[in-house]
Structure 1
Amino acid sequence: MDTTQLLSFLAWCTLINYSVLIVWFFIFKLGHDWLHLLHGKWFDLNEQQFDLINYCGMGLFKLFILVFNLAPWIALRLIE
């Protein structure tokens, strides 16, 4: 795999992962009550715990996108 293919792969990974993050955010905001009701039955979560888990999950996912997709893409673009 040459540098151009790797750059393309990382760019697509970044785009796809940010799309997943945006969809997760909108599903969480628009279906908050329904999701809390559903997951609350399974895991005995109150609303604050449910919100905290989702916000921390989104933050961790965003951090992983930055570290494993965007940062390598930027580094490769700088050396190319």
Structure 2
Amino acid sequence: MTIALLRSVLGWSALLNLLLVVVWFSLFLGFHDRMYAWHRRWFRLSGETFDAIHYAGMAWYKIATWLLFILPYVALRISA
């Protein structure tokens, strides 16, 4: 695998992962009550707990995207 190919894969992976977070956030805002009712069938969650779980999940996903895709991409752009 060449550096150019690795850089391309990291860049596209970062974009796709950030797009997934945007879709997740949009669905969370648009269908919050339906999502909460759906999850409430399986788990006993308060509304605050449900919101906290989703926001924490989005935060961790964004952090992982930065650490695993964006920062290595930037490092390869600088070094190569």
Give the TM-score band, short-chain normalised.
over 0.9
CA deviations 1:4-24 (Å, max 9, x no partner) are 000000000001000100000
Segments ≥4 residues shifted beyond 6 Å:
none
- State how far apart, in whole Å, the 2-side matches of 1:67 and 1:35 are: 29
* Residue identity in the other structure for 2:28: F
* Consecutive unaligned residues in structure 1, runs of 5 or more: none
TM-score by length of 1: 0.99
Q: Which shifted more, 39-48 or 52-61? A: 39-48
- State how far apart, in whole Å, the 1-side matches of 2:64 and 2:52 are: 18
* Consecutive unaligned residues in structure 2, runs of 5 or more: none
Q: Percent identity?
A: 35
Q: Which residue of 2 aligns with 1:66?
A: 66
Q: Give the length in aligned residue pairs.
A: 80
